[in-house]
Amino acid sequence: MCQINAATLQQRILNGEKLNLLDVRETFEFATYNIGGQNIPVSKLTASIEQLNYNKTDEIIVICTAGIRSENARGILSELGYQNVLNLKGGLIALRKINNK
């Protein structure tokens, strides 16, 4: 499984789980709205991989606005040897939709 849906992520957040979130949007997007985690834009991910604060065996949930950049980042991390990387399906848009119900 390479994805997590918004409802599952929301439940894990509400349960108080400590999650390893990697937001791969641009810095200004992260500053405008975020749900926490580390921010490394996907365009800088390979060059900035040493800044990633997670181990290669940790579960990492990659997020972006719609799930496209984060899926790209998930692939990059997998190629770099990260073993448990999940993409937030539908991105923050999907998460905001369930929060606004």
Nearest in space to 6 (alpha carbons), one of 82, 100, 101, 96: 96
The pLDDT score that the predictor gives to residue 53 is 87
What tokens appear for 100 in the block?
């606004």
Q: What is the pLDDT of residues 1-22, one digit of tens each?
A: 699 999 999 999 999 999 999 9
Average pLDDT over residues 72-78: 97
- Residue 100: band (very low, low, confident or very high) from pLDDT cuts 50, 70, 90: confident
Task: Tell me which residue range forms the domain holding 54.
Answer: 3-99
Number of domains in the chain: 1
Nearest in space to 58 (alpha carbons), one of 22, 92, 25, 27: 22
Q: For position 36, which CATH number holds?
A: 3.40.250.10
Sign of CA dihedral 35, 39, 30, 44: negative
What tokens appear for 98 in the block?
């369930």
